[in-house]
Structure 1
Amino acid sequence: MSQPSSQHQFVENHTVDHVPPSERHGKARDLFTLWFSTNIAPLPIVTGAMVIQVFHLNLMWGLVAIVMGHLLGGIVIALASAQGPQLGIPQMVQSRGQFGRYGALLIVFFTALIYVGFFISNIVLAGKSIHGIAPSVPMPSAIVIGALSATAIGVIGYRFIHSLNRIGTWVMGSALLAGFIMMFAQDLPADFYSRGAFNLSGFIATVSLGTIWQISFSPYTSDYSRYLPKEIGIAKPFWATYFGATLGTILCFSFGAVAVLCVPEGTDAMEAVKQATGWLGPILMVLFLLNIVSHNALNLYGAVLSIVTAIQTFAAQWTPSVRVRVVLASLILLGCALVALNASAGFIGQFIGLILALLLVLVPWASINLVDFYLIKKGVYDIASFFRADGGIYGRFNHHAIVAYVCGILVQLPFANTALYVGPYSNLVEGADLSWLFGLLVTVPLYYCLATRGQPVKAGRVVRVNE
């Protein structure tokens, strides 16, 4: 059984194909460091500050809501991540087992769009950070530097991304802990514990926000666990991902909430971080910049895998090479950089609003994916069928999944509260988007009933490819 070459140990040589047992490597703890480090960044800090600034909770109730939301949503991302070692393929390819070869194209398209959207937003944010730290670097140059750095990491691929985040866990975790110490070591404002109060709408909105935050990662979590040995099982990758993703985001959301309470009311969240942490503030800004670049590599990596998956749907015999990944990454980089260079001042907020609206399509997908894997097929799939032109035993379209998926989207619309669409019942709880909850409650039982009462696809066996 041949081992991968030293070159391929550094530069990933797989794209969307099955990772054979001979090339499996790593430990479950790698998932903890990946998801912990990834979530220590400016965006979750700014979002955590909203708990105080927008939802007007006090510190105690804000922290309770933050913890509840992320612990709930973390179940979804952890269940998705635990699929990777069992199948050895990216999440979007695995969707063919639920939706059929062509039926999976719609969710692949939406996922690619979300990746690209966040990649653009983050290179704009990275450009602003670079320009803020070094004003002599023009904004256009700063954007290009941020984009090129993320692209280099994304092209090298899986192993390098994990290595960076192992380092990032210690560096970013230590920096965040030092930041907390700096904030609590100073004289706290008189209203630090009393600013805000419990209110039901703010509490539910915060719990909802945390849940959605975690669910938004689910379409690509198994992309970063598929190289782990199958023998590692389900429990270890589940708990490593769960604790990494939830602990990182809970700490970062809480950091944002505490920072804005340490400064006068109305101060911008990132400015509050700089003011509240004293001499550590500029160091945190540099570390956050590095983490933006590292995290953005995941967006590019996922976009490339999604696009390759879409192309391969129409070219079953095509096995993309490293060169293809480099070319696609370069094309995405060029297009995204052009958009970012011409972005308006309010681009990030507008674009993130658009992308978050697309989360309406992720909730029913996650529901179907998890129900199918854990309750119906119980983790047993025919890998070879994922790459057959006719879809193998899963066919070109699985109407059970498609019907449940469409219903899952439609049922959310009346309750949606997004930048694109506001439903007639969006204010059941003021300020909270509860559409995801209705999506889960309808899609899960509907798909299970359709898939088990009709003519369910017969589960095959996982083909162990040793090429």
Structure 2
Amino acid sequence: MSHVPNDQTPALTAPPLIETRSIDWVPENERHGKLWHQAPLWFLGNFQYFSIPIGFIGPSLGLSFGWTVLASILGIAVGTVFMAFHASQGPTMGLPQLIQSRAQFGYRGVIVPLLATLFTYMAFNVADTVLLSEGLSGSFGWNPTVIAVLATLAGVVLAIFGHDWLHKAFRILLYVSLPIMTILTIGVITGAAGGSLSGGEYGFTWPAFMAQFAACAAYNITYAPYVSDYSRYLPTTTRARSVIAAVFFGASSSAIWLIILGAWLSIALGATDGLVGLQTAGNSVFARLGDAAALLSALALTATMGMNAYGGMLTVLTTIDSIRPIKPRTTARVVTILALAVAWYAIAASINSGAVATVFSALTLMLYILVPWTATNLVDFFLVRKGHYAITDLFTPKGIYGAWGWQGLTAFAIGLLTEIPFMLLPAVGNWSYVGPVATALGGVDIAWFVGLLTTSVAYLLLSRTIDRGAEEAHLRESNEKLSKTITTD
């Protein structure tokens, strides 16, 4: 699936202190990424505070610990499959994920999934800010406004420095937090953390089980629009199955670990805040263990805010470029990140909902919106075009993919529309929605599955109109241009 001839192996150039690449293609001589960096990055991406309240969702609806664990494992497994397959696109394409989506939606048409993706980044950082403010305030008595400001600034700094520094920050935090969380978990298993799972008010209902399942599936599906942003510096010779395996293991194992821990904190300790519950359990094992675990989990979530800000910046610049072609430099990256930070902080400051409600609402909305995109993108990459794209044509509305990709836009619309009768939206402010089919099903949420199925079938049928012969000629021409670019660099 390589787009660059293998008859030359240009020497790698040293990465700059502050990343200079944004939405442009990464040449082979700048592909300094390492495969082993993927698993730690995505392990810590979920090895933080946001994962814990997801384990509260099932118990808050009356689901028992055992059923919550099963729903969580199945949901994370399903969601991570989609995420991991998107990750394999990075080495092949050397592009941010949403630039690649121009092949399905068109140079300008990609604005539709771009707006959906930008909502995802903003929703995550809004929820992260609420979680950190409430959690650290409850755990240590710190001022929630100060916490929100500092967390936002830290995320901004990491996003500005970019790809390599995000990788480094995640690895350092992982090395420090892993042994502490391991000791705490052993304390939970051995009973040293206290608590009891003998709550008689918990049991099984399909609505509660599917709510837990959907929230967990959404958790890693929401990484799909930017997972390849962090694998695009891998050499084109990197095996797809190796990237898929590394990302799947990293993102799924840590999420399952902390979500199950969250369910235990909710049921056994009656915790209503994940960070406070983590602190209480850890300090019961031995003094200050919980304090350290809570603080490190919060720091990891702050680093994840940097990841979201970085992805949001790429999304905004791609949107602008899709309207009016640009060559963004460092200044554009910095200004965009700062503007996003102001926006998510302002929204977070206006939210009155609790942390668990905010997380559940955000994940549900993100799942509904992103499923039609991920289905369209993966079907195109693996079944229709099979990883072969004319890279240079993705940067012009006059290329082979055109300004508006009607096949992708139609499939996306079909998927989103067919989800509506099945939707079960939790309260967002004073507004909520339950579709007629969801009501008939007794409140069981299968909207995302319906959207996934209808979008995939629709795009497969519509893609038959794509002129693959014409694309092959553009592919050869693109490869020649990219080869010359590497040679001159």
TM norm structure 1 = 0.91
RMSD: 2.5
Select between 171-180 and 232-241 the one with higher mean Cα deviation. Answer: 171-180
How far apart are residue 432 of structure 1 and its match?
Answer: 3.8
Equivalent residue number for residue 384 of structure 2: 376
Partner of 2:5: none
How far apart, in 1, do the equivalents of 2:207 and 2:125 lie?
32
Residue pair 2:422, 2:437 contacting (<8 A) in 1 also = yes
After superposition, the Cα gap between the structure-2 partners of 1:370 and 1:248, relative to the gap in structure 1 and judged at 3 Å, is same
- Greater shift, 441-450 or 170-179, is seen at 170-179
User: What is residue 300 of structure 2 aligned with on the other side?
Assistant: 291
Could you tell me which amino acid in structure 2 is paired with residue 228 of structure 1?
L
Distance in 2 (CA, whole Å) between partners of 1:303 and 1:182 is 38
Match of 1:232, SS? coil
1:171 maps to a residue whose letter is: V
Residues of 2 paired with 1:234 and 1:127: CA distance?
39
Distance change in 2, residues 1:95/1:180 (3 Å):
same
Quick one: which amino acid aligns to residue 109 of structure 2? G
Q: 1:451 aligns with which of 463, 479, 482?
A: 463
Q: Structure 1 residue 299: deviation in Å?
A: 1.0
The CA distance in 1 between the partners of 2:361 and 2:212, in whole Å, is 17
Deviation of 1:5 after TM superposition, in Å, equals 4.7
SS for the counterpart of 1:418 is strand
Match for residue 398 of structure 1 among 399, 402, 405 = 405
Distance across 2 between alignment mates of 1:358 and 1:211: 11
Deviations 1:424-467 (A, max 9, x none): 11245545421010011111111111102565573525633424
Check if 1:170 corresponds to 2:175: yes
The 3 A distance-change label for structure 1 pair 212 and 124 is closer
Query: Please, which of 86, 108, 112 is the counterpart of residue 106 of structure 1?
Result: 112
Q: Residues 2-401 of structure 1: matches in 2 within 5 Å?
A: 3-5=12-14, 8=16, 10-59=17-66, 61-132=67-138, 135=141, 138-186=143-191, 191-192=197-198, 196-263=202-269, 265=270, 268-277=273-282, 278=284, 279=287, 280-316=289-325, 318-344=326-352, 346=354, 349-350=357-358, 353=361, 356-390=364-398, 392-401=399-408
Q: Please give the per-residue CA displacement for 1:327-380, whole angstroms capped at 9, x wherever unaligned.
A: 111222233333444444658845862563243221111001000000111101
Q: Find the aligned partners of 1:117 and 1:268 in 2 and give their Cα distance.
A: 19
Please state how far the C-alpha of 1:199 moved relative to its aligned partner.
4.1
Distance of aligned partners of 1:203 and 1:127 in 2 relative to their CA distance in 1, 3 Å threshold: closer
Report how far residue 42 of structure 1 moved. Answer: 2.1
Following the alignment from structure 2 to structure 1, what is the Cα–Cα distance between the partners of residues 162 and 153?
Answer: 14
Determine the C-alpha separation between the residues in 2 that align with 1:115 and 1:38: 14
Cα distance in 1, alignment partners of residues 113 and 466 from structure 2: 23
Say which of 412, 426, 431 aligns to 2:438: 426
* 1:98-152 per-position Cα deviation (integer Å, ceiling 9, x unaligned): 11101111111121122122223323333344544554x5433322111111100
CA drift of 1:165 comes to 1.5
Structure 1 runs not aligned, ≥5 long: none
2:345 & 2:215 partners in 1: Cα distance?
29
- Counterpart residue number, 2:4: none
- Once residues 24 and 300 of structure 1 are traced to their aligned partners in structure 2, the CA distance between those partners, rounded to angstroms, is 22
Partner of 2:7: none
Between the aligned partners of 1:348 and 1:66, the Cα distance in structure 2 is 16
Deviation at 1:65, TM superposition (A): 2.2
Q: Specify whether residues 180 and 194 from structure 1 end up closer, same or farther in structure 2 by C-alpha distance, changes over 3 A only.
A: farther
| Cα separation, 2, equivalents of 1:402 and 1:329 | 28
Q: Which runs of 5+ in 2 are unaligned?
A: 1-9, 427-431
Q: Which moved more, 1:363-372 or 1:250-259?
A: 250-259
Conserved in 2, the CA contact under 8 Å of 1:55 and 1:206?
no
Partners of 2:173 and 2:296 within 8 A in 1: no
Residues 414 and 426 in structure 1, CA contact (< 8 A), matched pair in contact too? yes
Asked whether the 8 Å contact 1:260–1:273 carries over to 2, the reply is: no
CA distance in 2, matches of 1:57, 1:206: 11
TM-score, length-scaled by structure 2: 0.87
Distance apart, 1:323 and its partner CA: 1.7
Bigger drift between 423-432 and 33-42 goes to 423-432
Residue pair 1:24, 1:229 contacting (<8 A) in 2 also = yes
Distance 1:432 1:296, change over 3 A: farther
Moved more, 267-276 or 244-253: 267-276
